[in-house]
Structure 1
Amino acid sequence: MSDNALSTTERESRLLRALVQLADTLVDDYDVVDVLHRLVEHCVHLLDATAAGLMLSDQHGGLRVVAYSSAQTHMLELFQLQASEGPCMDCVHSGEAVLVADLTTEVRRWPRFAPRAVEEGFASVHAVPMRLRRETGLLNDEDLLVVRALADTATIGILQERAIRRGEVVTEQLQTALNSRVVIEQAKGVLAFAGDIEMEQAFHTLRSYARNGGRRLADVARELVVGELRPEDLLSVRRRPSDV
C-alpha cells in the first residue's frame, strides 16, 4: 500500500459510491463501454493499485482489450494477447482468480510476459474473472471481496433481465462494446493530434463531452471520426472531479 492508501472509512464510502454507479446499469439505459472504464478506475482507486485493465471474449472466443486505466496497461494487456500468456489468459482459461505477489518468481510460467511486466515496473499482478454465480480464488480477503463486488455488479448489469430475454442479445451487446472500442481509439487519436495532448487526456476529454451531453461515448467518438463534430468542440470541455 502506498502513502496515498485510503483509510477504512474512505474506502467504504468510495466502494459504496462505486457500487451505486455500477448498480445504475440495472435500471437505466447505459453505456457499457463507459461502465467498464469506470470499473477499472474503481479498481485502481479502491485497491491502491498501479493500474487495471479489462478484457472481454468476442463472438469467436478470442480476447480483446476493452478498458484500461493507463496507456502502459493497454500495451501490457496487448502483449499478453500477442504472447498468448499472462495472468488474464490463465484466468480466462481456468475461470479462476490468478494471484501473483512477485512476478520475478513466475518467469518459468510466463517466460515472455513476466520479464516484460517487471521491466515496465510491475511487481505483482492479480486477475479476477467477471463471472456470475460461481466463486473464485483469493487476494487479501478484504481486497478480493472488493474486486468481486465490483466485477459481479458490473456483470449483473451486463446480464440484466431486459438484456437476456433472448440469449443472443448479450452476445450482441458485448460485441457492440468491442466494436465501439475501435472507433473510440480512432477518436482519441484525432483529439490527441488536434490538441497536441496525450492519448489518456484525449480519452478523458472525449468521455467528459459525452457525459456532459448525456450521450453515448461511442456515438460521440463516431461523430468526431467522420467529421460531424470538430475537435475544438470537445477540447473546450474540461474534465470534472466527478468524472472519476
Structure 2
Amino acid sequence: MHGLRRLRSERSTIQVLDQRSTRALVGLADTLVLGFDGIDFLHALTERCVQLLDIDAAGIVLVDQQGTLSLVAASTEQTHLLELFQLPNEDGPLLDCYHTGHGVGCADLVAAPPRWPRLAAGDRGFAAVQAVPMRLREQILGALNLFSCSPSDIPADVTAVTQSFANVATISILRVRALRHSEMVTEQLQSALHSRMLIEQAKGVLAQRHHISIAEAFTLMRTYARLHNRLLSQIAQAVISQAPDIADLTMAQTRPRRRGVALI
C-alpha cells in the first residue's frame, strides 16, 4: 500500500513538472522573434530552470572561436564565480559534458571522483552539479549547468527537462544564424561573449556609481533595457561610454551606503 502511494506521488510530481516545463518552454519559444535579445533570453532561461527544477542555481557557457568556454548567462553571480573557478582548471562535470557531448553530473562535489582531483566547489556554496550539452548533431555549442546546495543525485526526469531547456537555448542561437544569412554560428557566439563582457563592465560602473551590489546593478540595467525596448548590450555600451541619452540611469544618486560586518 505504501509503495503504491509513493508510486502515485512520484507520477503526480512528474506530471506537474511536465505541465510546468511545457508552459515554460512555450513561453520561451514565444520570445524567439526577430530582434530578440539573445543574452537576456539565455538569462531568462536560467531563471526558469531555477524556478521549475528545484535547484539553487543555473548557468550557460558557450565556446568561442578559440575553443574556450565562457559564461554568458547565470541565475546568480555565485554561479558565475563557480564557473570562472571551474573552467581554467580544465576539471569537472561541465568540461566533461562539453568534451563528450553527453550529460555529466556529480552528486557530491565535496567528495568529487578521482577524475576531478582539483574540483572543490563545496567551498563556494554548491554541493551537486548536473551539466547537459547544447548541441546540434555533432556540433557542440556549450552546456547548461544546474547547481544544488545539498548533495543529491538530480532525478532523471529533471535531467530530461534540463536537456529540453538546453535544446531551446541551442535553437535560439541557431535561429539567429538563420535570420542573419551572412553570419556563422561562431560569429554569433563571439558576439554573445562580447556582449556579456560589456555587461560585466557596465554592472561594475553602475554598482560603484549607485553604491549597490553587482546583482542589483544588473537588475537595474536589465529593467531599463526592457522599459526602453533596447538590447541589454546596447544599454551596457551606453553606460560604459556615458552616453547622454541614458543619463537617468547612469546619473549618480545620493544613497546611504550599506553598513555590514567587517570580515577581517
Change (3 A) 1:141 1:108: closer
Please give the secondary structure, in 1, of the residue aligned with 2:57.
Answer: coil
Cα offset for 1:59? Answer: 0.8
Q: Return closer, same or farther for 1:83/1:51 CA change in 2, 3 Å cut-off.
A: same
* Corresponding residue pairs, total: 224
What code does the residue aligned with 1:227 have?
Q
Q: Please, which runs of 5 or more residues in structure 1 have no aligned partner?
A: 1-6, 237-244
1:162 aligns with 2:181: no
Q: How many angstroms apart in 1 are the aligned matches of 2:56 and 2:248?
A: 30
Equivalent of residue 193 in structure 1, options 208, 215, 238: 208
Deviation at 1:24, TM superposition (A): 2.8
1:70 matched to which residue of 2?
A: 76
Give, in whole Å, the separation in 1 of the partners of 2:248 and 2:21: 35
| TM-score normalised by the chain length of structure 1 | 0.82
Please say if residues 96 and 128 of structure 1, whose CA atoms lie closer than 8 Å, have aligned partners that are also in contact: yes
Q: Matches of residues 96-175 of structure 1 in structure 2 within 5 Å?
A: 96-113=102-119, 115=120, 117-133=121-137, 139-160=154-175, 162-163=178-179, 165=181, 168-175=183-190
Offset at residue 25 of structure 1 (A): 4.6
**What's the RMSD between the two structures over aligned residues?**
2.5
TM-score (norm 2): 0.76
SS at match of 2:91: coil
* Structure ranking higher in helix proportion: 1
Residues 186 and 144 (structure 1), Cα distance of their counterparts in 2 relative to 1, 3 Å cut? same
- State how far apart, in whole Å, the 2-side matches of 1:56 and 1:45 are: 22
Deviations 1:128-156 (A, max 9, x none): 1112257xxx9522212211111111211
1:175-198 deviation digits (Å, cap 9, x = unpaired): 110001111011101111111111
User: Does 1:58 find its partner at 2:64?
Assistant: yes
Q: Decide which structure has greater strand share.
A: 2
Query: Tell me, what secondary structure is at the counterpart of 1:209?
Result: helix
Match of 1:240 in 2: none
Q: Is the 8 A contact 1:71 1:200 kept in 2?
A: yes
Counterpart Cα distance in 1 of 2:95 and 2:82: 12
- Residues 54 and 235 of structure 1: CA distance in aligned 2, closer, same or farther (over 3 Å): farther
Tell me the amino acid that sits aligned with residue 221 of structure 2.
L
**What's the CA shift for 1:75?**
0.9
Give distance in 1, aligned partners of 2:67 and 2:228.
35
Distance in 2, matches of 1:107 and 1:142, equals 24
| CA displacement, residues 70-117 of structure 1 (integer Å, 9 cap, x when unaligned) | 12111110011221111111111111100211223325222222x2x1
Deviation at 1:165, TM superposition (A): 4.2
> Could you tell me which amino acid in structure 1 is paired with residue 189 of structure 2?
L
Aligned partner of 2:233 in structure 1 is 218
Bigger Rg, which one:
2
Shift of 1:232: 3.8
- Give aligned-pair identity as a percent: 47
* Correspondence for 2:198 among 183, 187, 196: 183
